[in-house]
């Protein structure tokens, strides 16, 4: 599929999700095992207090609460009932994440900026993008970044069968393993649309679910200044920042990174990636 067609399809799905929000279903982004909607609640207790309040969007996750993780089995990834929203670490630790790539136009420029400041990030890649950019997967791994699974074609998982979800995830894990030598340990649902089947299948494939606490809304192309403002106002210990390196014109995201990254470092933030699985 051509990149232009992929972008058009994603915009159509995004418009549908936005229409649902306008109709009064905002916040319903976690589905049941077969895709039935489950009403989402406010962010779980313990989430960073200074995370930036944003209007609901198809990229803004409101997590399902009230359920804790199942007891972890030694040697196996636990089946969770909600995605992880933040990361623990010493001091003022934050995590930068980039979705939808890799894209040969924007990903190298993001990697260049991260290398300039000796910062590691997480890249949640789509299989159909990664298969044509295996060299970028290799570079990400070589430079110490974490590569996560963002499905093959970026669908709404709540509309898929279990078999389709498994195919979307497993095919992407195969491509990642080919490109960097190991299978991914993290996954993220497109549009923040999770369901129980996704959590279960992700666990079967050895992956933990990671969401975000600050949405840059860069997919709306609001301008580099607006992206910088959202990141800097939302900065707090444990925050996970959502940005994109593909899926459209991401030149604003590239420019914004070069502006907010040195400012965060000068403010005493430690930008890192998870080094262990959460239990």
Helix, coil or strand: residue 26: coil
Distance of CA 121 to the CA centre of its chain: 11
C-alpha span between 143 and 130 (Å, rounded): 17
* Active-site residue flag, 249: no
99, 103, 215, 245: which is the annotated catalytic residue? 99
Residue 228: name the closest of 243, 212, 246, 247 by CA.
Answer: 243
Peptide bond into 102 cis (omega under 30): yes
Tell whether the torsion through CA atoms of 215, 219, 223 and 224 is positive or negative.
positive
Structure tokens at 67: 């359920």
Judge whether 129 and 171 are in contact, CB under 8 Å: no
CA atoms of 54 and 46, how far apart (whole Å):
18
Catalytic one of 81, 150, 166, 244: 244
Helix and strand counts by DSSP (H, E) for the chain:
8, 11
Compute CA 276 distance to the chain's CA centroid, rounded to the nearest angstrom.
Answer: 17
C-alpha–C-alpha distance, residues 94 and 88, integer Å: 9
DSSP string across 170-193: HHHHHHHHHHHSS--SEE--GGG-
Q: Are 91 and 237 in contact (CB under 8 A)?
A: yes
Annotation marks residue 99 as catalytic: yes
Residue appearing with tokens 């990254």:
261
Q: Which residues are annotated as catalytic?
A: 99, 244
């Amino acid at each position: 599929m051509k990149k232009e067609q992929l972008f058009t399809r994603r915009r159509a799905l995004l418009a549908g999700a936005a229409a649902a929000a306008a109709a009064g279903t905002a916040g319903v982004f976690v589905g049941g095992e077969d895709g039935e909607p489950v009403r989402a609640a406010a962010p779980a207790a313990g989430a960073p207090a200074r995370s930036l309040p944003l209007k609901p969007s198809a990229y803004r996750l409101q997590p399902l609460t009230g359920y804790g993780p199942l007891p972890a089995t030694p040697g196996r990834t636990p089946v969770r009932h909600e995605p992880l929203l933040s990361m623990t670490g010493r001091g003022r630790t934050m995590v930068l994440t980039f979705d939808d790539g890799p894209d040969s136009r924007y990903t190298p420029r993001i990697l260049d900026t991260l290398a300039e400041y000796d910062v590691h990030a997480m890249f949640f890649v789509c299989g159909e993008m990664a298969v044509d950019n295996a060299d970028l997967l290799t570079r990400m791994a070589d430079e110490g970044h974490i590569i996560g699974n963002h499905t093959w074609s970026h669908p709404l998982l709540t509309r898929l069968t279990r078999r389709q979800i498994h195919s979307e995830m497993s095919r992407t894990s195969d491509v990642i393993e080919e490109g960097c030598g190991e299978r991914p340990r993290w996954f993220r649902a497109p549009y923040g649309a999770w369901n129980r089947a996704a959590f279960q299948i992700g666990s079967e494939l050895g992956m933990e679910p990671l969401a975000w606490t600050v949405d840059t809304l860069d997919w709306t192309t609001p301008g580099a200044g607006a992206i910088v403002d959202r990141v800097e106002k939302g900065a707090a210990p444990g925050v996970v920042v959502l940005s994109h390196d593909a899926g459209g014109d991401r030149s604003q995201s590239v420019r914004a990174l070069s502006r907010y990254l040195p400012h965060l470092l000068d403010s005493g933030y430690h930008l890192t990636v998870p080094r262990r699985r959460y239990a």
